Each structure stands twice: as C-alpha cells, then as structure tokens.
Amino acid sequence: MQLTISNLSKTYTNGVQALKSVSLTIPRGMFGLLGPNGAGKSTLMRTIATLQEADSGSIRLGEVDVLREKTTVRQVLGYLPQEFGVYPKITAESMLDHIATLKGIANRKERKEVVEALLQKVNLHQVRRKNLGTFSGGMKQRFGIAQALIGNPQLIIVDEPTAGLDPAERNRFHNLLSEIGENTIVILSTHIVEDVTNLCSSMAIICLGEVVAQGNPASLVEALQGKVWRRTIDKADLPQYQQMYRLISTQLKAGKTQVHVLSDFAPDSSFTPVEADLEDVYFAKITEKMNVVTV
C-alpha cells in the first residue's frame, strides 16, 4: 500500500496559497517531510488526516479516496498533531481506554489488552496510573504515539514530534518511530533535518506550498557532493558575499561568520571543499526557491 497525492492545492480565505499543486508518492516506511515554518507542511498533514478540505487535487491511500471516504480513512489513521493537548487530571491508562472506546473497541477485555500493550510499547507502563499533567514533554509525546497507534493504523502522521524534546527523549522517540515504520506508512513532518537523516528512507522538501525536492536522502546528498564550499568571513562582509556567490547557509562561530556556498567549482583559493549533508541539500533547495520568488 502507498499514499498517492496528486496536484493538491489549498488557498485560505485570507489569500494565502498554502499548497500549490503538490504531488507525492509515499511508500510504506518512514517518510520525511521537511520545510521551514509556514511552508505548508501542517496544511498538507491536516488535509491527509481529513481535518480540512482541499480546493483541488486528490489523495489516495491504496484504493481509498481520502478526500471523499473520510470515515474509512479515519478508521486506519493514527495522528499526532504538532499541538497535542492532554487532560492533565486523567491517568494515561484511563485516557487511552477512553480513546480506544471512541475508536470502536467495545469489548472491555480487548480494550484493556490493547491499552496495556501500547503502554508497554511506548515505555509508559510503569506510570500508567499517573495523571497526564505530571508527564514530561517526551512522555507526553510517547503517549501521543500510543493513542495514534490504537486500532493498528495503516497510516500514521506525526507533525513536529521532537520539537522541544531533550536529546535523550529525542533518541527514545526516534527508536519508537523507526520500529513503527517497519510495517506502516509513517509521515514525519518536521523542520529538523537531523530527524529525517536518522529516520527516513524517502523524503520531500516543501517550501512556499510547493515540493522543491523529493527522493532518497542519500541520493539527494550525493547529487550535491563536490559542489559545497566553505569560508570564514567577517560578519560585515556578509552582504558582499551574498551578492557575489550563491550562499546556502551562514553560521556564527567564535565571533566569525562561516558561509557555505554552492558552486560547481571553488569560487577562489580561500574556499575549502565541504562534504555535503542533508542540511546543505535543504538550504540549497529552500534558498533557490526563495530567490526565484524574490526575483
């Protein structure tokens, strides 16, 4: 089974065109959707999750028409939105039991078995009787994944799941997502490049509502090898370098500004070659799109 998105467009009433003829084919496994804030990622996720309408285009999950067969989609969908709220005075166990009831698991014994198994899976069984309001950010995210997994979904959407988590919780969350992605379509929407590098076998970059790159992360990086160059400059010289070269990223280090430039050959002898990574791909595609729009 795969998710097929074709020519999907969405314009809000304030005139913002959030999606512009987006087309993607998403196979089983972990799929990373990268993009800056306001790129259209959340709009795309909410549309796939049947939470809002598209203006045009189509989405198919296998043989299911996502935009028309919303009830069918919701029966096989797990969703962890960016803003995932919890009832602070309800225990994790009770809340999962309630959500399982809403998802149609009527048998009490079956429901109990499902809840127990999920709490074990996300490593929350020992705190199952604690109120959700006492959970850390990482624990809440793991609880969010638990509720998304109820009903053995065929499609799971997680929107910015690791934002704000400490390194240890991010690592736990990565391991959990990797395990889930072995047998399910999992869409990871994020602006954290490292998450996609670590987790995803396929990906897309979206900017200003359009797909600007898609494919295997390693292949996208390989296409950029030998074309990224670095130099450390004075901050005051940055505007000059922006005019002269195709800057894809800048970083302040020890009071100096380090720039990455995209070029088929060394701009001059003061530049050193850089082994490209997915962050370079991301910035190259985003800056290219922004420059086209500006021009």
Same domain, yes or no: 204 and 121: yes
Phi/psi of residue 137, each to 5°?
A: -60, -40
User: Are residue 236 and residue 193 in the same domain, yes or no?
Assistant: no
pLDDT at position 258: 93
Enclosing domain of residue 91: 3-215
pLDDT at position 294, please?
A: 45
56 and 148 together in one domain: yes
Residues 228 and 120 in one domain: no
- Say whether both 174 and 286 belong to one domain: no
* Same domain, residue pair 143 and 55: yes
Which residues are CB-contacts of 84 (< 8 A; sequence separation ≥ 6)?
140, 141, 144
Same domain membership, residue 161 and residue 26: yes
- Do 248 and 205 lie in one domain? The reply is no
pLDDT of the residue at 173: 80
Distance from C-alpha of 74 to C-alpha of 17, rounded to nearest angstrom? 26
User: Hey, what are 260's tokens?
Assistant: 């990455």
Q: Are 96 and 104 in contact (CB under 8 A)?
A: no
Q: Which of 167, 187, 215 is the endpoint of a domain?
A: 215
Contact between residue 25 and residue 4 where contact means Cβ atoms under 8 Å apart:
yes
Q: What is the pLDDT of residue 67?
A: 95
Residue where one domain finishes, among candidates 192, 215, 238: 215
Q: At 81, which CATH number?
A: 3.40.50.300
Pair 186, 255 in one domain: no
The reply to whether 285 and 191 lie within a common domain is no
Domain boundary among the residues 172, 188, 215 is at 215
Same domain assignment for residues 31 and 161? yes
Count of structural domains within the chain: 2
Whether the pTM exceeds 0.75: the reply is yes
Please identify every stretch of the chain with a pLDDT value under 70, giving residue numbers as ranges. 292-295
Residues 203 and 67 in one domain: yes
108-121 tens-digit pLDDT: 999 999 999 999 98
